């Protein structure tokens, strides 16, 4: 995958996340929008799509492992030992970005809802440290993902050494840990319990993080894309009926989409569908406007992740005035992108101020 394709996939992943939190967790918003398509069991399609959209965390974790392995591989080829330092810088940028968004939200929320926010010193400290993001529960995997990023260099070093059956043993152990943690999920209130809960979260994310790294290590995505293209080009539709390969891929992607929303909710099903859908998407010849749009959204994906829930918390069901689900999604993502420019501007000004102070000293 190219860097641009990775950004496009991040754009898709963040749209899945926003859809999930817009229509999958708020019944009042779901009741307040127009519904056109219903499934055989009476569920509206926009609600059933939560099964598809819930793959967003798996999606992000896979892309994180894939991208960080590529960076580690590049550093090895350049004989550079700076991977650990750069991963620390990545985590620092992520956390400072989070703090800026949190500061803006707390300022607005304390003004609009002073009886609820900030809610006491302990709650504020839990949110500042990201050990328990009660203000924005969609950030539950921020600390675990930051921990995986911080430990990426030793993880990638281990994965680079894996060969043959050891890969399967490694993945089997990682998957078993994920399943055990999923079946024994527990909430904690003490500080030590919150730290342990986040360590468990990192272990739960580790499987897809490692799968992403292994895909990058053995060029599995490229090999899958090549195999799918060859299979489609030799299929009856393309070979005999002269249907374009991209159209066949689009049909296959739609079938996988409906297949996922028809299968019961399971954390073990998501990786299978995800690893089928990504290479099929990459096989499609995409129009430039679509690629550019997804890339643009992908570049703002971190701030969209940080902001969208806060916006929904502060505005309540106000977004239902737009009535139509797709319009509501576009409005929410557009608002998040505007907020992203503000956040990025504050970060740039802060960095400029710090650098100017250092140069004077």
Q: CA 113 → CA 47, 175, 220, 314, 336, distances in Å? A: 29, 43, 50, 9, 21
- The helix (run of H) or strand (run of E) holding residue 153 is helix 152-161
* Of 63, 73, 71, 91, the residue nearest 5 (C-alpha): 63
- The helix (run of H) or strand (run of E) holding residue 312 is helix 301-315
Q: CA 174 → CA 81, 177, 208, 268, distances in Å? A: 27, 5, 9, 12
Lowest mean per-residue pLDDT among 28-37, 73-82, 305-314, 321-330 = 73-82
Residue 265: is its pLDDT beyond 70? no
Residue 275: is its pLDDT beyond 80? yes
Query: What gap in Å lies between CA 268 and CA 226, rounded to an integer?
Result: 26
Exposure letters 280-308 (e unless 16+ CB within 10 A, then b): bbbbbeeeeeeeeebbebbebbbbbbbbb
Q: What's this model's pTM, rounded to 2 decimal places? A: 0.90
Write the pLDDT tens digit of every residue in 9-57: 999 999 999 999 888 777 888 888 888 778 777 777 887 788 888 889 9
For the CA atoms of 121, 124, 127, 129, the dihedral, rounded to the nearest 10 degrees, stands at: -50
User: What is the domain partition of the chain in residue ranges?
Assistant: 1-54+286-334
Query: What gap in Å lies between CA 348 and CA 318, rounded to an integer?
Result: 32
Task: Return the DSSP state at 24.
Answer: S
Write the pLDDT tens digit of every residue in 59-85: 999 999 999 999 888 877 666 667 778
Query: What gap in Å lies between CA 332 and CA 323, rounded to an integer?
Result: 13
Give the pair of three-digit tokens for residue 146.
């930051």
């Amino acid at each position: 995958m190219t860097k641009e394709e990775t950004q496009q996939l991040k754009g898709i992943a963040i749209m899945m996340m926003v859809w999930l939190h817009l229509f999958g967790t708020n019944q009042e918003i779901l009741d307040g929008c127009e519904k056109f398509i219903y499934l055989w069991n009476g569920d509206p399609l926009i609600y059933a799509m939560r099964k598809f959209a819930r793959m967003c965390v798996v999606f992000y974790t896979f892309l994180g492992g894939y991208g960080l392995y590529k960076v580690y591989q590049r550093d090895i080829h350049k004989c550079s030992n700076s991977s650990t330092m750069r991963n620390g810088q990545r985590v620092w940028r992520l956390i400072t970005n989070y703090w800026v968004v949190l500061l803006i939200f707390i300022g607005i929320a304390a003004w609009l809802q002073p009886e609820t926010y900030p809610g006491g010193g302990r709650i504020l400290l839990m949110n500042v440290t990201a050990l328990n993001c009660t203000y924005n529960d969609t950030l539950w995997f921020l600390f675990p993902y930051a921990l995986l990023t911080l430990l990426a260099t030793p993880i990638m070093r281990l994965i680079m050494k894996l060969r043959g059956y050891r890969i399967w043993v490694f993945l089997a152990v990682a998957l078993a840990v994920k399943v055990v943690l999923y079946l024994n999920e527990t909430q904690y209130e003490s500080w030590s319990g919150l730290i342990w809960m986040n360590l468990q979260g990192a272990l739960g994310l580790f499987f897809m993080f490692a799968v992403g790294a292994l895909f990058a290590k053995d060029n599995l995505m490229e090999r899958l894309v090549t195999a799918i293209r060859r299979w489609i080009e030799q299929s009856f539709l393309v070979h005999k009926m002269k249907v374009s390969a991209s159209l066949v891929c689009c049909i296959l992607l739609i079938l996988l989409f409906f297949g996922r929303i028809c299968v019961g909710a399971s954390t073990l099903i998501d990786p299978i569908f995800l690893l089928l859908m990504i290479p099929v998407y990459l096989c499609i010849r995409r129009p430039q406007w679509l690629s550019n749009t997804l890339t643009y959204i992908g570049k703002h994906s971190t701030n969209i992740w940080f902001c969208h829930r806060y916006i929904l918390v502060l505005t309540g069901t106000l977004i239902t005035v737009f009535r139509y689900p797709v319009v509501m999604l576009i409005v929410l993502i557009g608002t998040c992108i505007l907020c992203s420019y503000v956040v990025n501007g504050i970060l740039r000004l802060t960095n400029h101020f710090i650098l100017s102070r250092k140069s004077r000293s």
